[in-house]
Amino acid sequence: MHFPLEVRFKVLALASQISVTDSTGSLIYYARQKAFKLKEAVTVFADEQQTRPLFKVEADRILDVSARYRIQDAGGAEVGALQRHGMASIWRTHYDLEIGGRVAFTIREENPWTKVLDFLLGSVPILGLFAGYFLHPAYLVAPVPDGFPLLRAVKRPALLEGRFEIQRMENPDDRQLDAALVSVVMMLMLDRARG
């Protein structure tokens, strides 16, 4: 896997579809959220044809702002769990990533004002089409308790799709990297659905 990674999803799609490619253009992950589901469940695949599942992410409850998302590998072993911090996340996105039963990483926005302006301008007809060209919300994945960020996901300019770039800032082990990347993909899907 060669960084930076590029994350793309269709803005006008009924159900979220995300593809993650590395800097060589190789597909790393493909995920499609099922439409009209009360309980979030996403399978992350290695291919767009959805024949090689890599991970499954499933919420522990129905339609809740504080849901916990269990991440399992293709064999059913738990890789980690993503916990959203309910009402606090409305202002500033905040998730905890648990690995091995303890919080290992947090995902937080760098600057919540950027997301607020992106949302407000994005809601204005015509102007909303161009808001993504000058507002770039960014998210940091950092170890707990305090440490240098592992990953940084930054929104990039795009007209009819959502586009993010994931930059690696540290070198974790493969299992931690997989858990962090799948968590970022899920967080982007959830935040897209919430605006």
The answer to whether the beta carbons of residues 60 and 70 sit under 8 Å apart is yes
- The rounded average pLDDT for each run of 10 residues, N- to C-terminus, in the chain (195 residues) is 92 79 97 78 94 95 82 96 74 88 93 77 72 79 89 86 92 89 92 61
Q: Beta-carbon neighbour count of residue 86 at 10 Å? A: 12
d(CA 91, CA 112): 7
Asked if residue 71 lies in contact with residue 183, where contact means CB atoms within 8 angstroms, the answer is yes
Strand, helix or coil for residue 181 = helix
Q: Which residues contact 34 (CB under 8 A, 6 or more apart)?
A: 15, 41, 42
| Nearest alpha carbon to residue 106 among 142, 137, 136 | 142
pLDDT at 145: 83
Q: What are the contacts of 111-115 at 24+ separation with CB within 8 A?
A: 111/137, 111/138, 114/138
C-alpha dist (Å) from residue 86 to 96, 99, 136 = 11, 20, 23
Indicate the pTM of the whole model.
0.87
The answer to whether 158 touches 188, Cβ cutoff 8 Å, is no
Query: Which residue range is the domain that position 53 belongs to?
Result: 5-194
Q: What is the predicted pLDDT for the residue at 50?
A: 94
Report how far residue 115's alpha carbon sits from residue 120's, in angstroms, rounded to the nearest whole number. Answer: 9
Find the CATH number of the domain harbouring 22: 2.40.160.200
Q: In this predicted structure, what is the pLDDT of residue 78?
A: 95
Closest CA to 139 of 187, 86, 194: 187
- Per-residue confidence (pLDDT) for residue 105, from 0 to 100: 96
Count of domains observed in the chain: 1
